[in-house]
Amino acid sequence: MKILVAGGAGYIGSHMAKWLTTHGHEVVILDNLSTGHSDLARYGRLVVGNLGDRALLDSLFEQETFDAVMHFAASSLVAESVTEPALYFNNNLANTLVLLDAMRHWGCQYFIFSSTAATFGEPEYCPIDEQHPQNPINPYGLSKLMVEQVLQQYASAYGLHSVSLRYFNAAGADPDGELGECHNPETHLIPIILQAAAGKREAVTIFGRDYNTPDGTCIRDYVHVQDLCNAHLLALEKLQTGTLRGAQAFNLGNGNGFSVAEVMDAARRVVSASGRDFVVLEGERRAGDPAILVADSRAAQHQLGWRAEYPDIDTIIRHAWFWENRGVAD
């Protein structure tokens, strides 16, 4: 297949481009490089431009016959979405509508959407399945939920078939060390820990030790970026064969939550082999941090044939540490 990967110079999108290419598909990457890195766009032809540029999209769809589009081009910082909601509704919702309408015009009917567990808001129960109420508590989660709702309407009205994949905590890196996570600012726990171990930041902070969990720290569900890529391709194959129709959505996680303290212990095991360590500071709880967020991925297992190949937190961190030590894109 020939796939347009929007946001393919970013963390997950660059891994997806490699996954598609190594599985025999042709990739064109569309990225404005606002948060992506051209050095990560190694698999596929890179077109630098904005998702909301309809003239650019028309030019691309006229030149290429795309079998499907994968969308990783969202803005994704929760705190920023609270202070700059217009940015999130413009990029995550309005620009996606431009893309979907270009797809309709050019007859491309398969769409894979990178969604988020933030559509659920504060969990009412765990693990979180697809029937859990969706009540986002920030503009980031709301903008993603709005796209999911649009996709439902576009499926019934226009025959646009889609799968939305809701991640919990994407983590890890390409096992070959070619690709990895490099955000600015970095907000994810594992790269923050590894930056501290590499001497790129002074310390890492535990925000709260008084949660109702076995060790008092928050529990999160980490899923390896390679496993996410596998789920995307499986979802696309199900659309292509007609096994899935309409607008579908699945939660993705490894099903085994790890606490902040457990992640730090695992990171120490990994970096100690390099003679490294890191300083840990104690901080107060952050507002809006639920005690436990864990995915119920049984629907993805049953309907996509998906399972996490890298559920072990030590392996996830080891791959990320390999990337960190090879250097990241500027």
91-118 pLDDT, tens digit per residue, is: 999 999 999 999 999 999 999 999 999 9
Query: How confident is the model at residue 187, as a pLDDT?
Result: 87
**One domain, residues 81 and 130:** yes
Same-domain check for residues 95 and 229: yes
Total domains, the chain = 2
Q: How high is the pLDDT of residue 320?
A: 97
Q: Are residues 234 and 309 in the same domain?
A: no
Peptide bond into 123 cis (omega under 30): no
Measured distance CA(135)–CA(117) in Å, rounded = 11
State which residues form the domain around 302. 189-220+255-326
Note the pLDDT of residue 211.
94
* Cis-peptide into 85, omega within 30 deg: no
Do 200 and 236 belong to one domain?
no
**What is the band of 162 on the pLDDT scale with cuts at 50, 70, 90?**
very high
65 and 129 share one domain: yes
* Residue 74 covered by a domain: yes
What's the pLDDT score for residue 311?
93
Q: Quick one: 235 and 309 in the same domain?
A: no
Mean pLDDT of 301-325: 95
Q: Is residue 184 part of a domain?
A: no
pLDDT for 23 equals 98
* Contact between 268 and 227 (Cβ < 8 Å): no
**Alpha-carbon distance 237 to 151, whole Å?**
18
One domain, residues 243 and 147: yes
Final residue in a domain of this structure, among 234, 252, 270 = 252
Q: Which active-site residues does the annotation give?
A: 140
Q: In this structure, are 203 and 125 located in the same domain?
A: no
In a domain, 152, yes or no: yes
Tell me the pTM: 0.95
Residues 7 and 133 in one domain: yes
In contact, 245 and 154? CB cutoff 8 Å = no
Percent of the chain with pLDDT over 90: 92
Q: What is the CATH number of the domain that holds 298?
A: 3.90.25.10
Distance CA 61, CA 120 (A): 34
